Structure 1
Amino acid sequence: MPATTQDGDHAIENRPAPQTSKTMKAVRFHGKEDLRFEDIPEPTCGPGQVKVKPAWCGICGSDLHEYMGGPSLCPESKPHPITGETVPLTFGHEFAGVIEEVGEGVSERFRVGTRVVVAPIIYDGDCGACQDGLVNCCWKNGFVGLSGWGGGLSEHLVVPEYTLYNCPDNVPLDVAALVEPLAVGWHAVNSSPFKRTDTALVLGGGPIGLSVIQALRARGCAQIIVSEVSGMRKEFAKDFGAHVVLDPTKDDIIARCLELTNKKGVDVTFDAAGVQPGLDQAVNSLKARGTHVNIAIWEKRCSLWPNDLVFKERRYLGVATYVKADFQEVIDALSDGRLDMAHKMITKRIAMDQVREEGFLTLINDKENQVKILVEGSGEK
Structure 2
Amino acid sequence: MRAVTCTDAKLEVVDLPSPRPARGQLLLEVLRCGICGSDLHARHHCDEVADITAEVGYDGMFRSSESVVLGHEFCGEVLESGPRTSRFRAGTRVVAFPLLRNGSAVHPTGLSTAAPGGYAEQILVEESLAFAVPNGLSTELATLTEPMAVGLHAVNRSQIGRGQVAVVIGCGPVGLAVIAMLKARGVRTVVASDFSAGRRALATACGADVVVDPAVESPFERTAGHGHIERAPELFELAVGSMEKLRRIPLVPWNRIYQAAEALGAATPKHPVIFECVGVPGVIDQLIAGAPLASRVVVVGVCMQPDRIRPVMAINKEIDLRFVLGYTPIEFHNALHLLADGKVKAAPVVTGSVGLAGVDEAFTALADPETHAKILIDPRSDATEPRPVSL
State the TM-score bracket (shorter-chain normalisation).
Answer: 0.7 to 0.9
Q: Which has the higher strand share?
A: 1
Partner residue, 1:105: 84
How far the C-alpha of 1:72 sits from its partner, in A, is 4.2
How far the C-alpha of 1:346 sits from its partner, in A, is 1.0
Which residue, 275, 281, 288 being the options, matches 2:280? 275
Which has the higher Rg, Structure 1 or Structure 2? Answer: 2
Q: Indicate the larger mover: 245-254 or 192-201.
A: 245-254
Which residue, 355, 360, 363 being the options, matches 1:356? 360
> In structure 2, what residue type is equivalent to 1:25?
R
Partner residue, 1:30: 7
CA distance in 1, matches of 2:308, 2:101: 31
Matched, 1:319 2:284: no
Q: Is the 8 A contact 2:194 2:212 kept in 1?
A: yes
- Residue 303 and residue 83 in structure 1: after superposition, are their counterparts in 2 closer, same or farther (change >3 A)? closer
Partner residue, 1:343: 347
- Residue 62 and residue 353 in structure 1: after superposition, are their counterparts in 2 closer, same or farther (change >3 A)? same
How far the C-alpha of 1:106 sits from its partner, in A, is 2.4
Matched, 1:152 2:129: no
Q: Is the 8 A contact 2:365 2:371 kept in 1?
A: no
Matched, 1:186 2:163: no
CA distance in 1, matches of 2:101, 2:176: 27
Q: Is the 8 A contact 2:129 2:329 kept in 1?
A: no
Identity of aligned residues (%): 32
Other structure's SS at 1:90 match = coil
Q: State the Cα deviation string for residues 234-272 of structure 1 (Å, max 9, x = none).
A: 111112111111222221344x05525344364211111
Q: Is the 8 A contact 2:99 2:126 kept in 1?
A: no
CA distance in 2, matches of 1:283, 1:141: 37
Partner residue, 2:29: 53
Q: Is the 8 A contact 2:199 2:369 kept in 1?
A: no
CA distance in 1, matches of 2:193, 2:280: 12
Between the two proteins, the alignment pairs up a number of residues equal to 333
CA distance in 2, matches of 1:81, 1:60: 22
> In structure 2, what residue type is equivalent to 1:89?
V
- Residue 291 and residue 371 in structure 1: after superposition, are their counterparts in 2 closer, same or farther (change >3 A)? same
Q: State the Cα deviation string for residues 289-312 of structure 1 (Å, max 9, x = none).
A: 331101111121222222233233
Unaligned runs of 5+ in 1: 1-23, 127-139
Partner residue, 1:11: none
- Residue 273 and residue 119 in structure 1: after superposition, are their counterparts in 2 closer, same or farther (change >3 A)? same
Q: State the Cα deviation string for residues 88-124 of structure 1 (Å, max 9, x = none).
A: 011111100111001123252x221111102114589
Q: State the Cα deviation string for residues 175-194 of structure 1 (Å, max 9, x = none).
A: 11111111111100011120
Unaligned runs of 5+ in 2: 231-270, 382-391
How far the C-alpha of 1:367 sits from its partner, in A, is 2.8
Q: Is the 8 A contact 1:56 1:96 kept in 2?
A: yes
Matched, 1:259 2:224: yes
How far the C-alpha of 1:70 sits from its partner, in A, is 5.6
- Residue 181 and residue 234 in structure 1: after superposition, are their counterparts in 2 closer, same or farther (change >3 A)? same
> In structure 2, what residue type is equivalent to 1:28?
T
Q: State the Cα deviation string for residues 9-41 of structure 1 (Å, max 9, x = none).
A: xxxxxxxxxxxxxxx100001112x11101111
> In structure 1, what residue type is equivalent to 2:82?
G
RMSD over aligned Cα, in angstroms?
Answer: 2.6
How far the C-alpha of 1:59 sits from its partner, in A, is 0.8
